Amino acid sequence: MAANFWTSTHYKQLLDQEEVDVVQQLDRDRGITLEDFKLVKMHISNYITRMAHLVKVRQRVVATAITYMRRVYIRKSLTEFDPRLVALTSLYLAAKAEESTVQARLLVFYIKKIYPDDIRYRFDIKDILEMEMKILEALNYYLVVFHPYRSLTQFLQDAGMMDLMQFTWGIVNDTYKMDLILIHPPHLIALACIYIASVSKDKDSVAWFEELRVDMNVVKNISMDILDFYDGMKNNIEERVNVIFSKLPSRS
Amino acid sequence: MAELDNLITKKVADRYLKREVLGEGTYGVVYKAIDTKTNQTVAIKKIRLGKQKEGVNFTALREIKLLKELTDPNIIALIDAFPHKGNLHLVFEFMESDLEAVIRDRNIVLSPADTKSYLQMTLKALAFCHKKWVLHRDMKPNNLLLAADGQLKLGDFGLARIFGSPDRRFTHQVFARWYRAPELLFGTKQYGPAVDIWGAACVFAELLLRRPFLQGSSDIDQLGKIFAAFGTPKPAQWPDMIYLPDYVEYQYVPAPPLRTLFPMASDDALDLLSKMFAYDPKARISAQQALEHRYFTSHPTATNPASLPRPPQKGDSNSKVPEFNPNEGPTVLSPPRKLRRVMPNRSDGGEENIHNAEKLDDHVSGSRLTAGASSSRNDTIPMSIDFSVFGSRPPPRPTINSADRTHLKRKLDLEFQMPE
């Protein structure tokens, strides 16, 4: 973990789970439940990841984009901020902020490719650029985000478990389907992922963890949250999300 | 959650009373305004949206991103940002002048204590940036702004970057040439805070000489000027030099004694200067070390910022952007900033190059606005994307999808019987 995390705006903005799990009134009026809300955010995270693969940006950009999207929905409703447009724009903005610009027209081009018939996903450049300004405002212009990836490498090296790299990296990617990045310091998320990986691959890491001087209760709780999330993964996400989307205002 | 409340009530453009235009900034018009909430004078940058349909200007976004993280008395404060009529506006604290204006003003006498004070504030700003892993990459006197209370504040973070990962490759096309470190001139793509120290050293020298120290007319000439001042570096002095991408051998010139170049400087000043001008970036003094150098504790004590000499107020219109009047005696001007930043003909820079291209566009549109000159530049940005891959992938799969999740969970829980 870079030494400056503790003085960063990211650290100052960390929230409690209860603060994150709030469905905006406008959405509740439309019958959106907390579970629906989480599911939409997960679906949108997947969508961001998928778009990011097409336009070829680093994992860091994907992670930042998802973080922006999740931060937006702390303050804004799904009703006012169309999640499909927020997804695209978060990716567009994150790419810029992480110094690997992706052109808006390229995103528009790929949406047409992958959703040739579904107009609900179709946006043009103008929509993205308008939303960019709104997202900046919703983020209160805080754009620097820290991620677990860098500390992950350092930890695994230190623990002599570099062979777990790929597996753990995958778990870290999965944590972005949840709100963990809004709640916990990234290095604790990394540790939780390492913990899960080491236990599932039968590596004895207890001694190493004990020497770390971190609050293992927190690490344990994060690990459990992640496993709970895996437990809750259902196959018919697409269907359920479509049902939720039908509750949201339709685009003209 | 005071911040959330804050967010709802502010962001109304009528919070600010618009005053006169101060000048044309890097990416748009800058005007003076009064913040009715605080009664503070502020400078508002209206960010022109690019013609490229690329949304919020990339340089502006960098500045926003970094300044939101950097709160320090010696760094310009970004007070607010808001969209208005489709444009993004950035609100900065108002700065009366800049160090270039001070250095150039022949009516101002800079005592050794004044120079020390300016350098100290510059190094404090850099030490803070570097502690936060931010490289400024555009050190020069007119980016060192002076507040009404005499405080020097580092401004213009449009070229700045976070340098967290040591292996990331950066462009070497940064800094105005006269302030560019030798490793950048030799084309290094992996560099660190030492580049800012070199730039600060050039500012230090400029304060002592009252003119830019190393005024190269090209990159090659710049290195020539550096070597003429400090001698051609020997391999022992800078072992990595010969491996740099654009390294070329220069004819050997010995170093003249530093004292001959700065006859008026104290021994301590010269010692610090030589450490800031060390050839090997690894051996160059850091901002924090420089602040602890005995130059800052030895006599004379640095002047209190409020007592520093400053250029006379030219009525109400004294702005950060100094006016160029060719009749005002020997004026030393930096070369026009854009030209030094942009290398439109380079094609090997990858992503950084696209950004440079954006900057170039800014410049073109800017000069069109001011000079009315027409430009026939074609604005297409080179694509770095491989269009051959259209195959869309299935949504990302979770990493753990086997049936033994519950088993794993039980196991995890058991393992955590550790006493706190």
3-state secondary structure chain B: CHHHHHHHHCCCHHHEEEEEEEEECCCCEEEEEEECCCCEEEEEEEECCCCCCCCCCHHHHHHHHHHCCCCCCCECCEEEEEEECCEEEEEEECCCEEHHHHHHCCCCCCCHHHHHHHHHHHHHHHHHHHHCCEECCCCCHHHEEECCCCCEEECCCCCCEECCCCCCCCCCCCCCHHHCCHHHHCCCCCCCCHHHHHHHHHHHHHHHHCCCCCCCCCHHHHHHHHHHHHCCCCCCCCCCHHHCCCCCCCCCCCCCCHHHHCCCCCHHHHHHHHHHCCCCCCCCCCHHHHHCCHHHCCCCCCCCHHHCCCCCCCHHHCCCCCCCCCCCCCCCCCCCHHHHHCCCCCCCCCHHHHHHHHHHHHHHHHHHHHHCCCCCCCCCCCCCCCCCCCCCCCCCCCCCCCCCHHHHHHHHHHHCCCCC
Q: What domain range includes position B297?
A: 97-324
Regarding whether B225 and B89 lie in a shared domain, the answer is: no
What order do you get walking across the sheet with B97-98 strand by strand?
Answer: B97-98, B144-146, B152-154
* pLDDT in the model for residue A191: 95
Regarding whether B67 and B113 lie in a shared domain, the answer is: no
Indicate yes or no: CB of A99 within 8 angstroms of CB of B351.
yes
Residues A53-87 pLDDT 10s: 999 999 999 999 999 999 999 999 999 999 999 99
Check if A211 contacts B (Cβ < 8 Å): no
- Residue B344 domain-assigned? no
Regarding whether B250 and B115 lie in a shared domain, the answer is: yes
Regarding whether B112 and B50 lie in a shared domain, the answer is: no
- Residue B340 domain-assigned? no
Name the residue facing B409 among A3, A133, A227 (closest C-beta).
Answer: A227
Cα A70 from Cα A81, distance rounded (Å):
12
Regarding whether B151 and B65 lie in a shared domain, the answer is: no
Q: Chain B: give the shortest CA distance to residue A162, in Å.
A: 17
Regarding whether B77 and B166 lie in a shared domain, the answer is: no
- Residue B199 domain-assigned? yes
Contact at 8 Å (CB) between B154 and B212? no
Regarding whether B126 and B87 lie in a shared domain, the answer is: no
Check if B405 contacts A (Cβ < 8 Å): yes
Residues 125-164 of A with CB under 8 A from B: 125, 128-129, 132-133, 136-137, 140-144, 150
What pTM value is reported for the model?
A: 0.80
Regarding whether B300 and B274 lie in a shared domain, the answer is: yes
Q: Which domains does chain A have, with CATH numbers?
A: 15-144 (1.10.472.10), 148-232 (1.10.472.10)
Q: Which residue of A has its CA nearest to B412?
A: A199
* pLDDT in the model for residue B377: 38
Where a domain ends, among B324, B357, B388? B324
Where a domain ends, among B283, B308, B324? B324
- Residue B356 domain-assigned? no
Low-confidence ranges of chain B (pLDDT < 70): 1-13, 25-26, 50-53, 164-168, 313-420
Residues of B in contact with A216 (CB under 8 A): 416, 418, 420
* pLDDT in the model for residue B271: 97
Regarding whether B132 and B217 lie in a shared domain, the answer is: yes
CB atoms within 10 A of CB A179: 24
Regarding whether B218 and B85 lie in a shared domain, the answer is: no
Regarding whether B85 and B196 lie in a shared domain, the answer is: no
Indicate yes or no: CB of A206 within 8 angstroms of CB of B385.
no
Indicate yes or no: CB of A143 within 8 angstroms of CB of B81.
no
Which residues of B are designated catalytic?
138
CATH number, domain with residue B57: 3.30.200.20
Cα A240 from Cα A36, distance rounded (Å):
8
Where a domain ends, among B50, B76, B93? B93
Check if A7 contacts B (Cβ < 8 Å): yes
B25 marked as binding residue: yes
Name the residue facing A206 among B131, B389, B415 (closest C-beta).
Answer: B415
As for how many domains chain B has, the answer is 2
- Residue B19 domain-assigned? yes
pLDDT in tens, chain A (252 residues): 345 888 899 999 999 999 999 999 999 999 999 999 999 999 999 999 999 999 999 999 999 999 999 999 999 999 999 999 999 999 999 999 998 889 999 999 999 888 888 888 889 999 999 999 999 999 999 999 999 998 999 999 999 999 999 999 999 999 999 999 999 999 999 999 999 999 988 888 888 998 888 889 999 999 999 998 888 776 677 788 888 888 888 775
* pLDDT in the model for residue B313: 60
* pLDDT in the model for residue B263: 93
- Residue B379 domain-assigned? no
Q: Which one of B359, B404, B409 makes the best mutation probe of the A interface by having the most chain A beta carbons within 10 Å?
A: B409
Q: Chain A: give the shortest CA distance to residue B307, in Å.
A: 32
CATH number, domain with residue B184: 1.10.510.10
Check if B5 contacts A (Cβ < 8 Å): no
- Residue B78 domain-assigned? yes
- Residue B226 domain-assigned? yes
* pLDDT in the model for residue B25: 67
* pLDDT in the model for residue B398: 58
CA dist B128 → A203, B75, B263 (Å): 41, 9, 32
Residues 9-38 of B with CB under 8 A from A: 11
Regarding whether B78 and B204 lie in a shared domain, the answer is: no
